[in-house]
Amino acid sequence: MNLFQKLALDAGPILRALTRSRAGAVLIALQCAITLAIITNAIFIIQDRLKKMARPSGVDVENVFSMSVIPFAPNFDTKGSIEADLRALRALPGVVDAAVVNSFPLLQSGGSSMYAAKPGAKGEEYVGAARYEVDAHTLNTLGLKLIAGRDFREDEIRGREINSQYENPVAILTKAYAEKMFPPDGNAVGKTLYDGNQVAIPIVGVVERAQAPWISWGELEYSAFFSNYRLSFARYIVRAAPGERDRLMPQVEKLLSESNSGRLIESMKSQTDIEARTYGEYRAMAIILVSVIVLIVIITGLGIVGLASFNVNARKKQIGTRRALGAQKGDIVRYFLVESWLITTAGAVIGAGLSFGLSYWMVNTFDLPPLDWHYIPVGVCFLWVLGLVAVLVPARRASQLAPALATRSV
Amino acid sequence: MLQMTHISKVFRTDLVQTHALRDFSLNVKEGEFVAVTGPSGSGKTTFLNIAGLLETFDTGTYLLDGKDVSHLSDDSRSRLRNEKIGFIFQGFNLIPDLSVFDNVDVPLRYRGFDGKERRRRIEGALEQVGLASRAKHLPSQLSGGQQQRVAIARALAGTPRILFADEPTGNLDSLMARQVLEMLEEINSSGTTIVMVTHDPELARRAHRNIHVMDGQVSDFTDFSQASAARDALAA
- Of the candidates B49, B105, B112, the beta carbon closest to that of A407 is on B49
Which domain covers residue B9, as residue numbers? 2-95+162-235
- pLDDT-derived band at A368, boundaries 50, 70, 90: confident
Query: Does the residue A182 lie in any domain?
Result: yes
Q: Read off the pLDDT of residues A26-80 as tens digits, 9 standing for 90 and up.
A: 999 999 999 999 999 999 999 989 998 999 999 999 999 999 988 888 888 888 9
Contacts of A17 in chain B (CB under 8 A): 95, 97-98, 102
Query: Does the residue B217 lie in any domain?
Result: yes
Question: Which of A22-36, A238-252, B87-101, B220-234 is the least confident region?
Answer: B220-234
Contacts of A20 in chain B (CB under 8 A): 97, 138
How many structural domains are present in chain B?
A: 1
Pick from B107, B151, B95: which is nearest to B128 by CA? Answer: B151
Query: Does the residue B100 lie in any domain?
Result: no
- pLDDT-derived band at B231, boundaries 50, 70, 90: low
Q: Do both A130 and A173 map to the same domain?
A: yes
Q: Is the dihedral of CA A309, A310, A314, A315 positive or negative?
A: negative
Own/partner long-range contacts of A151-157 (Cβ < 8 Å, ≥24 apart): A151/A205, A152/A204, A152/A205, A152/A225, A152/A227, A156/A204, A156/A227, A157/A227, A157/A228, A157/A229
On average, the pLDDT of chain B sits at 90
- Asked if pLDDT for residue A1 goes beyond 90, the answer is no
The predicted structure's pLDDT at residue A162: 72
The predicted structure's pLDDT at residue B234: 52
Q: Inspect the interface and report whether the beta carbons of B112 and A331 lie closer than 8 Å.
A: no
The predicted structure's pLDDT at residue B226: 59
Query: Does the residue A150 lie in any domain?
Result: yes
Q: Do both A377 and A257 map to the same domain?
A: no
Distance separating alpha carbons of residues B100 and B94, to the nearest angstrom:
8
Q: What is the mean pLDDT of residues B195-205?
A: 87
The predicted structure's pLDDT at residue B228: 56
Search chain B and give the residue with CA nearest A315.
B95
Q: Do both A39 and A81 map to the same domain?
A: no
Which domain covers residue A328, as residue numbers? 3-54+280-407
Contacts of B138 in chain A (CB under 8 A): 20
Question: How many Å separate Cα A271 from the centre of its chain?
Answer: 17
- Of the candidates A324, A329, A402, the beta carbon closest to that of B87 is on A324
Contacts of A324 in chain B (CB under 8 A): 52, 54, 81, 87, 93
How many structural domains are present in chain A?
A: 2
Q: Inspect the interface and report whether the beta carbons of B93 and A323 lie closer than 8 Å.
A: no
| A336–chain B nearest CA distance, Å | 15
Contacts of A321 in chain B (CB under 8 A): 89, 93, 95
Distance separating alpha carbons of residues A57 and A223, to the nearest angstrom:
11
Higher pLDDT, B219 or B109: B109
pTM, whole model, 2 decimals?
0.78
Query: Does the residue A47 lie in any domain?
Result: yes
Are A175 and A186 within 8 A, CB to CB?
A: yes
- pLDDT-derived band at A159, boundaries 50, 70, 90: confident
Which residues of B have a CB under 8 Å from any CB of A? 45, 48-49, 52-55, 74-75, 78-79, 81-83, 87, 89-91, 93, 95-99, 102, 105-107, 109-112, 138, 154, 158, 166
Q: What is the mean pLDDT of residues B110-133?
A: 94
- pLDDT-derived band at A165, boundaries 50, 70, 90: confident
The predicted structure's pLDDT at residue B175: 85
Distance separating alpha carbons of residues B110 and A335, to the nearest angstrom:
11
Q: Inspect the interface and report whether the beta carbons of B54 and A331 lie closer than 8 Å.
A: no
- pLDDT-derived band at A17, boundaries 50, 70, 90: confident
Q: Inspect the interface and report whether the beta carbons of A324 and B79 lie closer than 8 Å.
A: no
Query: Does the residue B138 lie in any domain?
Result: no
Query: Does the residue A343 lie in any domain?
Result: yes
Q: Do both A257 and A330 map to the same domain?
A: no
The predicted structure's pLDDT at residue B35: 94
The predicted structure's pLDDT at residue A374: 92
Q: Do both A24 and A89 map to the same domain?
A: no
> Which helix (H) or strand (E) segment is B126 a member of?
helix B115-128
- Of the candidates A9, A21, A406, the beta carbon closest to that of B93 is on A406
Q: What is the mean pLDDT of residues A84-93?
A: 95
Search chain A and give the residue with CA nearest B94.
A318
- pLDDT-derived band at B100, boundaries 50, 70, 90: very high
Query: Does the residue A306 lie in any domain?
Result: yes
Q: Do both A248 and A339 map to the same domain?
A: no
Own/partner long-range contacts of A302-306 (Cβ < 8 Å, ≥24 apart): A302/A390, A303/A27, A303/A28, A303/A31, A304/A28, A304/A32, A304/A340, A304/A343, A304/A344, A304/A386, A304/A387, A304/A390, A304/A391, A305/A390, A305/A391, A305/A393, A305/A394
What are the two backbone dihedrals, phi and then psi, of residue A234, each rounded to the nearest 5 degrees?
Answer: -80, 155
What are the two backbone dihedrals, phi and then psi, of residue A100, each rounded to the nearest 5 degrees?
Answer: -115, 135
Query: Does the residue B220 lie in any domain?
Result: yes
Q: What is the mean pLDDT of residues B44-66?
A: 94
Indicate the pairing of strand B33-37 with strand B193-197: parallel
Are A230 and A162 within 8 A, CB to CB?
A: yes
| A409–chain B nearest CA distance, Å | 9
- pLDDT-derived band at A332, boundaries 50, 70, 90: very high
Query: Does the residue A273 lie in any domain?
Result: no
Contacts of B49 in chain A (CB under 8 A): 404, 407
ipTM of the complex: 0.92
Q: Read off the pLDDT of residues A293-327 as tens digits, 9 standing for 90 and up.
A: 999 999 999 999 999 999 899 999 999 999 999 99
Query: Does the residue B142 lie in any domain?
Result: no
Higher pLDDT, B18 or A64: A64
- Asked if pLDDT for residue A330 goes beyond 90, the answer is yes
Domain boundary among A207, A226, A261: A261
Domain boundary among A233, A261, A289: A261
Contacts of B74 in chain A (CB under 8 A): 328-329
Preferred mutation among A22, A321, A333, A409 to probe B, highest tally of B CBs within 10 A: A321
- Asked if pLDDT for residue B102 goes beyond 70, the answer is yes
- Asked if pLDDT for residue B67 goes beyond 80, the answer is yes
The predicted structure's pLDDT at residue A181: 96
Question: Looking at residue B166, which CATH number applies to its domain?
Answer: 3.40.50.300
Domain boundary among A261, A292, A322: A261
Query: Does the residue A70 lie in any domain?
Result: no
The predicted structure's pLDDT at residue B73: 95
Q: Inspect the interface and report whether the beta carbons of A326 and B81 lie closer than 8 Å.
A: yes
